[in-house]
């Protein structure tokens, strides 16, 4: 992967469409526009051109084109865009011509954004925010991702890093004093106070776990004995036919997941195999998967049918008992809620309860951390700050306290990708679409 190559890719979706955007980045961008379009428009001004095949001069398409010279571009390199018609043949013809231009090749997944990162146009947390903007399925996820793209997490991490480095500088200064005798008391108190404040602030960010959950969605597992009405409820919540419903017990054997938007919040509803002892090997595997999913879920809805014997609910962090088939029997005082997926009775109350549960778990969208990667880095920083502070307080070696501050600053620096992130980069960029 050379970065003096010029890369190109369609940045809009696949399949026939009204318009298709071809993105181009790298030193050949100007030449490509000039060759295909006959002339290059003013920077960042859209212009219409007939694109022509080099050599033959045959028209390829009528397009809107853009010239965005570096460094004032998304990637920081010279960039061009061809807004062509979105027909399959048009797209294929334009891409084929681009492929024949020297030093020009199709982009890899996430390569435009990788170049933007390498050119300092965005930090790693913003790249993650951009990935999340593209993946956002609900309003709350979109809002959180936009805040991260705009630099809320990155700016905060950068401020923390600078404040740790200031404390480190003071520690180094006090090292000189300690060579000569005693460290002035007010200097030591100042450093302690700085480490303390950072420790508290980072601890507060770590305490809020709702960002990661908002990103991934609130998971609700539907569990219950066979024929309790789990698949019928899943279909009702999803408002479409996703799971097979039948009067035969043991119909659902695998785990079926549906992503729902409940009042702007992402809720993943998971249908599982009915819990019972079974001689059928495949059903047994389904039952053990059901138990595993119930254990990991944010919430289990334990579905209790009116008929049949009582079954024990699975182990769960949080569980609501939902009586099903209220149209058959409504005498269910052992349940938190009663529904009939057939008549729709009680469904609105169930959805309200789910929204409320999700809202409590996913918070106000004010979480700073949205990935385990952030949490791991900040946990190390938090630990080092506490260790440094303890060393200072107990009169331990200042060199060691300084080393802890250095470790803390490096850990915080991982958030914006200032340090040690090669392996993270490959994983992150490969999760992007081509053209991003």
Ligand X SMILES: Nc1nc2c(ncn2[C@@H]2O[C@H](COP(=O)(O)OP(=O)(O)OP(=O)(O)O)[C@@H](O)[C@H]2O)c(=O)[nH]1
73 binds, among ligand FFO, ligand X, none (CB under 5 to 8 A by kind): ligand FFO
**Residue among 324, 384, 409, 416 that touches ligand X (CB under 6 A):** 324
Listed residue (204, 316, 217) closest to 265, CA to CA: 217
Is 96 annotated among the ligand-binding residues?
Answer: no
**Residue among 174, 340, 384, 416 that touches ligand X (CB under 6 A):** 340
410 binds, among ligand FFO, ligand X, none (CB under 5 to 8 A by kind): none
Count the residues of the shown chain that bind ligand FFO, applying the rule CB under 6 A. Answer: 7
Any contact of residue 84 with ligand FFO (CB under 6 A)? Answer: no
With a CB cutoff of 8 Å and minimum separation 6, the contacts of 312 are none
Smallest distance from ligand FFO to CB 189, Å: 44
Please, are residues 18 and 86 in contact by the beta-carbon 8 Å criterion?
A: yes
**Residue among 231, 278, 370, 384 that touches ligand X (CB under 6 A):** 231
Smallest distance from ligand X to CB 114, Å: 45
> CB-based burial of residue 416 (10 Å sphere; 0-12 exposed, 13-18 middle, 19+ buried)?
buried
DSSP letters of 64-83? EEEEE-TTSSSSSS-EEEEE
Binding to ligand X (CB under 6 A) within 250-309 occurs at 250-252, 273-274
44 binds, among ligand FFO, ligand X, none (CB under 5 to 8 A by kind): ligand FFO
Smallest distance from ligand FFO to CB 59, Å: 23
**Residue among 53, 139, 327, 403 that touches ligand X (CB under 6 A):** 327
**Residue among 16, 19, 38, 44 that touches ligand FFO (CB under 6 A):** 44
208 binds, among ligand X, ligand FFO, none (CB under 5 to 8 A by kind): none
Give phi and psi for 65, each to the nearest 5: -125, 155
Question: Vertex 147, ends 141 and 152: CA angle to 5°?
Answer: 140
Query: Token pair for residue 404?
Result: 């802890």
Report the residue number whose CB is nearest to ligand FFO: 72
Query: Token pair for residue 301?
Result: 């809805």
Sequence-ordered strand ranges (E) for 26-108: 47-52, 59-68, 79-86, 104-106
Give phi and psi for 27, each to the nearest 5: -65, -20
**Residue among 7, 21, 140, 221 that touches ligand FFO (CB under 6 A):** 21
Q: Which stretch binds ligand FFO (CB under 6 A): 48-56, 65-73, 176-184, 360-368?
A: 65-73
226 binds, among ligand FFO, ligand X, none (CB under 5 to 8 A by kind): ligand X
In angstroms, the CA 96 to CA 115 distance is: 23
Smallest distance from ligand X to CB 321, Å: 15
Residue 432, number of CB atoms within 10 A of its CB: 20
Give phi and psi for 257, each to the nearest 5: -115, 140
Listed residue (159, 133, 136, 162) closest to 148, CA to CA: 133
Listed residue (227, 197, 160) closest to 374, CA to CA: 160
Q: Which stretch binds ligand X (CB under 6 A): 114-122, 203-211, 335-343, 419-427?
A: 335-343
**Residue among 39, 100, 178, 246 that touches ligand X (CB under 6 A):** 246
**Residue among 8, 67, 74, 117 that touches ligand FFO (CB under 6 A):** 74
Smallest distance from ligand FFO to CB 138, Å: 20
Give how far Cα 297 sits from Cα of 29, 92, 223, 245, 323, Å: 49, 45, 11, 23, 20
In angstroms, the CA 309 to CA 32 distance is: 73
Smallest distance from ligand X to CB 231, Å: 3
In angstroms, the CA 352 to CA 330 distance is: 20
Query: Token pair for residue 158?
Result: 């950068």
232 binds, among ligand X, ligand FFO, none (CB under 5 to 8 A by kind): ligand X
Please, are residues 192 and 183 in contact by the beta-carbon 8 Å criterion?
A: no
22/234 with CB nearer ligand X: 234
Smallest distance from ligand X to CB 241, Å: 11
74 binds, among ligand X, ligand FFO, none (CB under 5 to 8 A by kind): ligand FFO
Is 246 annotated among the ligand-binding residues?
Answer: yes
Listed residue (117, 65, 114, 63) closest to 90, CA to CA: 63
Which residues define the annotated binding site for K(+)? 227, 246, 248, 251
Which residues define the annotated binding site? 23, 81, 121, 227-232, 246-252, 271-274, 436
Q: Which residues bind ligand FFO (CB under 6 A)?
A: 21, 44, 68, 72-74, 81
Q: Which residues bind ligand X (CB under 6 A)?
A: 224, 226-232, 245-247, 249-252, 273-274, 324-325, 327-328, 340-342
């Amino acid at each position: 992967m050379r970065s003096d190559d010029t890369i190109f890719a369609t940045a809009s979706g696949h399949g026939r469409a009204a318009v298709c955007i071809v993105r181009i980045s790298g030193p050949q961008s100007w030449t490509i526009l000039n060759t295909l379009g006959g002339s290059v428009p003013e920077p960042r001004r859209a212009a219409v051109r007939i694109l022509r095949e080099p050599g033959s001069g045959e028209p390829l398409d009528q397009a809107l084109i853009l010239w965005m010279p570096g460094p004032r571009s998304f990637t920081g390199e010279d960039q061009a865009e061809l807004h062509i018609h979105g027909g399959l043949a048009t797209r294929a013809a334009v891409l084929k011509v681009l492929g024949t231009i020297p030093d020009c090749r199709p982009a890899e997944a996430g390569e435009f954004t990788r170049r933007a990162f390498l050119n300092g146009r965005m930090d790693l947390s913003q790249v993650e925010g951009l990935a999340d903007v593209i993946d956002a399925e609900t309003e709350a996820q979109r809002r959180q991702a936009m805040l991260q793209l705009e630099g809320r997490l990155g700016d905060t991490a950068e401020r923390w890093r600078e404040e740790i480095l200031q404390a480190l500088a003071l520690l180094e200064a006090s090292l000189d004093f300690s060579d000569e005798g005693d460290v002035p008391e007010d200097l030591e108190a100042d450093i302690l106070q700085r480490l303390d404040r950072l420790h508290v602030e980072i601890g507060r960010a770590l305490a809020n776990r709702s960002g990661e959950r908002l990103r991934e969605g609130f998971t609700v597992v539907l569990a219950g004995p066979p024929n309790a009405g789990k698949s019928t409820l899943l279909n009702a919540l999803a408002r479409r036919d996703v799971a097979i419903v039948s009067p035969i017990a043991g119909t659902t054997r695998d785990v079926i997941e549906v992503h729902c938007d409940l009042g702007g919040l992402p809720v993943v509803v998971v249908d599982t195999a009915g819990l019972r002892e079974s001689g059928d090997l495949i059903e047994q595997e389904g039952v053990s998967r059901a138990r595993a999913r119930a254990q990991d879920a944010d919430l289990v809805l334990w579905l209790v049918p009116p008929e049949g014997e009582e079954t024990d609910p699975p182990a769960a962090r949080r569980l609501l008992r939902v009586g099903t088939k209220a149209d058959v029997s409504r005498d269910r005082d052992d349940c938190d809620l009663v529904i009939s997926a057939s008549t729709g009775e009680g469904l609105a109350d169930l959805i309200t309860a789910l929204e409320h549960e999700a809202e409590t778990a996913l918070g106000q969208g004010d979480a700073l951390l949205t990935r385990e990667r952030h949490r791991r880095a900040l946990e190390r920083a938090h630990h080092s700050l506490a260790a440094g502070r303890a060393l200072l307080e107990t009169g331990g070696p200042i060199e060691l306290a300084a080393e802890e501050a250095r470790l803390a600053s490096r850990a915080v620096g991982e958030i914006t990708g200032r340090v040690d992130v090669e392996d993270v980069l490959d994983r992150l960029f490969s999760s992007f679409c081509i053209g991003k």
